[in-house]
Amino acid sequence: MNINTDIKYEPLKNVLYALEYDFSLLDDEEKKQNLRERGFDIDASIANVKKMVNNALQEKRITWKEKAQQNLVQLNEKAGKAFKWVNQSYEEIEEAFGAVVSGKYGLQPQLQLRGAWKNLKELSIKDKAAILDSIEILKMSDSEDEKDGQTKI
Amino acid sequence: MDDDIEKLINEANWDKLMPELVNYADNLIRRYGWRGFSPRKGPRGQLLANDKNADDFSQEAIRRLLDGRRKWNPDKVDLLGVLKGIIKSIISSELKSLENQMLKDWVEDPNKLDPISKAADPNPTTDVLLDRKFQRQTYEAFKELVSNDAELSNYLEALELTHLPREIEELTKGEIKATRAYELKRKLKSKLDTFLTKSDFHNNNLIRGED
């Protein structure tokens, strides 16, 4: 950042440059001493800036945390509205689960299931219902044009 | 604030950056003294622009970066560079209205252009001419002020040509030893600051274009 451009009269520009240039040649402590001689409490300034930066960054982290908590509340609200498979009959759960495994409701749920459990036949009906509930919630979160009320895979 | 900017600010070495920023802002305020603005002196001798010193401007620049009022692209400029830019902008806008008022009061006389103005820039704008004329007059007045101190006067004239102590010793034919440079520089800075903070000089003589 060149401030020389502010001075148009050459002899004066040279004098000001001469008076300013050697600051860059000083070591850290000499620079502070130079500023103290010019009336600045540079140590207090540095401490103040560090505090200001820490406060700002901490505030940002708190904001992020609050946002995450709000998202969690929203997710829980969605979960409360989602269709509950655990309350359905054995046959209905088996049928829906079979549909997910066969890929009828998309490749993603199908692959996730196959990746997580090598032998899907060993899963209990309760586990299958719980998996279907999770898929319901995920589908609700993904859906941007989701309407109020229950949805079903 | 983006995460990468937050990381850079968090990792910044403020012990190194702050002295650079305060020095920059202080020099900038001083330079405004040569553009028609008359700074004041604070309680510990710091130069003030609208009652704020270089430290205030530096902290304000950091505050504006932190709260997002000022943007930063780290790919284009480093942290020191962006903060210097913000400082310059803050000081400039603080003093802009005052400077405009002073320029308005200036009576331009195209017949009185000095040769140096013409030589340095073939197509200078009106602002440049006014700045140059004002700076030359102010500087000559300062030289007149220190003319009773032969050593300082000699040193000042040498500084117009070089900032290197050894060259100054040569130029003054050994009258000003390189070892005296530091002391003379301190003395000169102090005299300049006192001179610039005398607002009656700016207001009564130079702004009205009196030679």
Q: Which of B21, B27, B55 would best serve as a mutation to test chain A binding (most A beta carbons within 10 A)?
A: B55
Please give the structure tokens belonging to residue B92.
């400039």
Tell me how close the Cα of A68 comes to any Cα of chain B, in angstroms.
Answer: 16
- Is the pLDDT score of B123 beyond 80? no
B197 touches A: beta carbon within 8 Å? no
Would you list the domain boundaries of chain B? 3-105, 110-206
The alpha carbon torsion through A40, A44, A47, A53 (nearest 10 deg) reads -60
pLDDT number for residue B117: 40
Q: Terminus-to-terminus CA distance in chain A, angstroms?
A: 61
Contacts of B138 in chain A (CB under 8 A): 12
pLDDT in tens, A62-118: 777 777 777 877 777 777 777 778 778 888 888 888 888 888 777 777 777 776 666
Task: Give the residue, A54 or A149, on which the prediction is more confident.
Answer: A54
Task: Give the residue, B21 or A139, on which the prediction is more confident.
Answer: B21
Burial class (CB in 10 A: 0-12, 13-18, 19+), B67: exposed
Please give the structure tokens belonging to residue B48.
């003030």
pLDDT number for residue B78: 96
Tell me how close the Cα of A60 comes to any Cα of chain B, in angstroms.
Answer: 8
Q: How far apart are CA B43 and CA A43, in angstroms?
A: 18
Q: Which of B34, B78, B79, B185 would best serve as a mutation to test chain A binding (most A beta carbons within 10 A)?
A: B34
Give yes or no for a contact between B17 and B79, defined as CB atoms under 8 angstroms apart: yes
pLDDT in tens, B66-79: 988 999 999 999 99
Tell me how close the Cα of A139 comes to any Cα of chain B, in angstroms.
Answer: 29
pLDDT number for residue B204: 47
B81 → closest Cβ in A1, A42, A60? A1
Q: Which of A38, A50, A59 would best serve as a mutation to test chain B binding (most B beta carbons within 10 A)?
A: A38
Instruction: Look at B27 and A3 and tell me if their CB atoms are within 8 Å.
Output: yes
pLDDT band at residue A145 using 50, 70 and 90 as cut-offs: very low
Predicted TM-score (pTM) of this structure: 0.66
Please give the structure tokens belonging to residue B61.
């620049």
Contacts of A23 in chain B (CB under 8 A): 23
Residue ranges of B 124-153 with Cβ closer than 8 A to chain A: 124, 128, 131-132, 135-136, 138-139
A47 touches B: beta carbon within 8 Å? no
B31 touches A: beta carbon within 8 Å? yes
Instruction: Look at B160 and A11 and tell me if their CB atoms are within 8 Å.
Output: yes
Least confident of A17-26, A63-72, B38-47: A63-72
Please give the radius of gyration of chain B, using alpha carbons only, rounded to the nearest integer.
Answer: 20
pLDDT in tens, A51-60: 999 998 888 8
Tell me how close the Cα of B139 comes to any Cα of chain A, in angstroms.
Answer: 7
- Is the pLDDT score of B126 beyond 80? no
pLDDT in tens, B147-201: 999 999 999 999 999 988 899 999 999 999 988 888 899 899 889 888 888 755 5
Residues, chain B, total?
211
